[in-house]
Structure 1
Amino acid sequence: MPRRDLPPPPPPAHLLARLDRDTVRADRARFLRELGRRSLGIGGLLLLWAVSAVFALGWSFVGMGWLAFETHDGLSLALGYLCATLGAGVLVPAGFWFAWLARRDRQVRGLLRAWAGVYRDAAADARLRAPWRSLTWLLASLAMAAAGLGLSFWIAASARPGSETYGEVGYLVGLGMILWITGLLGAAKAAAHFRWAVRAFPRAG
């Protein structure tokens, strides 16, 4: 997400004092809602899963190459090199995509913290917690992490010499690890956002 698509940062203190307070508060409420949606909206969760799916696709090519190398014949070796090249061609852009998402998340978090400190209003800010967003991210991410970890352990524990090759085990364990790491990232983001929202937007007392 280019920075120009994000809400602007709050005005500097010396300019803020000259602006109409009600106008600034209206902008603040609108920007915080937008930033909260961008930070923990359903679209963001689907985007994280899309990056995970691209990593899984790249790893699938690598896995096919690994399996081809284990046959040790000329045609399979050529196919293995082709699959490994395709895998690298998918994994490298996926890494750049993930880095771009991480940089965007840092920008969104910075803007959230900056706007949250402007003209606090406990009664209005309590509604900005949106705990259901954090809960949605947390439950979906924990389910994915559990599925990935379960797959990895089940494949590793059930593998028997002669019935599964190293390539098959490595490929399936790798897929499980991709799911596990994706789930952990989503759960950590949801928990961190909720802890921050509770401190930044206290309930009116």
Structure 2
Amino acid sequence: MSNTPSVWQDIARKGLWQQNAGLVQLLGLCPVLAISNNVVNALALGLATTLVTALSSATVSSVRHWVPHTIRNPVFIMIIASLVTCVDLAMNAWLHELYLVLGIFIPLITTNCIVMARAEAFASRQPVREAAWDGAMMGLGLTGVLVALGALRELLGKGTLLAGADKLLGPAGQQLTLHLAGADYQFLLMLLPPGAFLGLALLIAGKNVLDARARQRAAAATYPAPDAEASPAP
């Protein structure tokens, strides 16, 4: 694969928008819907997934010539599981409170369809740098969806933003919490699983609207409307 800037931009565009794992491919919906009840949880899980996706894609790409085709998938899963274990232990050691909140969803990154799909569809066929970049962009695309959905649900459900930021950023994170509604405000629907489905549906609809407008602008630029006939001179 060529290393021209357009190639890197194309990979980034596909991972962040055109083939977004959460809004287009609809992969990894279990953590997206379960953890996205606030921004901090969503951001933490998204970054952990991004780290695993980037590192696993780079590792898979680096060993792809030495792995027989018949055992390729078990080897890929072993690589992913090893990286997830490292992330799980690191979060338990340094972000223990957040680790307790995320719970089983950190080990479940091993079975996340996004990680395995990129290892199989892209990393196993591309050089290391392109594979790592693709994994990072796919992970960041999912992280963006998680954060947007978490912000929507937290804002509508509790009237706050960045609640519990100290679990991720330490004591300084307490200053980042925004209270945008009264202390008694709560919209329980957005904090429960139905709210996750409704929020994700709104995000998907919003992306579809933006894509439709972009196609219309592109079509108008390619096929401009004919100029109106000049009025006859008096």
TM-score, normalised with respect to structure 2: 0.26
TM-score, normalised with respect to structure 1: 0.29
- Relative to total residues, which structure has the larger helix share, 1 or 2? 1
* Structure showing greater Rg: 1
